[in-house]
Structure 1
């Protein structure tokens, strides 16, 4: 599965409006999630444009993130966040 995550991030990095991304693995502590991915975009409009691009790429390689998450018993927390103003 990590290979598909890396492939998806490579695709995201090529898209207009991409700012930066992180793929983080927990190495200590009692945290619930072992893997966290974060992608920062210039705007919601950029996100809206990339969603069908990623979906099409996944369809081309017969990859279903939802099916994979269910099959592997992965607990995912998928959401959109925005940066807080500087303090």
Structure 2
């Protein structure tokens, strides 16, 4: 299964990005669009894009999605793959073309 169990209900997807300033707005707008899509899916408790305002570290954009369960994650994966195909959007190519460095993963509260 995809992800890690936080409790009996909740899973967290945290994706961190190093986004060059020249493409920051373009990248954030695309992430906001994708998060809006995720918010409408069953089992999505929240989906947000965070942009760093101050502090050390290289990551300056984060997306955070909270899921109710593994089934919701699997369903969302299928929906998003179909959406990407319909829109001819390749997330890996998009980030590569913009020079964005990504660190993607599922997390649990410890």
Place the TM-score, normalised by the shorter chain, in its bin.
0.7 to 0.9
Matched, 1:20 2:63: no
CA distance in 2, matches of 1:83, 1:17: 19
Normalising by structure 2, what TM-score? Answer: 0.70
CA distance in 1, matches of 2:28, 2:98: 12
User: For this pair of structures, how many residues does the alignment match?
Assistant: 84
1:82 aligns with 108
User: Which structure shows the higher strand fraction?
Assistant: 2
The RMSD of aligned alpha carbons is: 1.3
**Of 33, 40, 47, which aligns to 2:59?**
33
The answer for unaligned runs of 5 or more in structure 2 is 1-26
How much does 1:75 deviate?
Answer: 0.9
Gaps of 5+ in 1: none
Q: Distance in 2 between matches of 1:18 and 1:64?
A: 22
Q: Relative contact order (alpha carbons < 8 A, sep ≥ 6): 1 or 2 greater?
A: 2
Provide the residue aligned with 2:82 in structure 1.
Answer: 56
Tell me if structure 1 keeps the 8 A contact 2:48–2:65: yes
Query: Given that residues 46 and 67 in structure 2 are in contact (C-alpha distance below 8 angstroms), is that contact kept between their aligned partners in structure 1?
Result: yes
TM-score by length of 1: 0.86
- The answer to whether structure 1 residue 73 and structure 2 residue 96 are counterparts is no
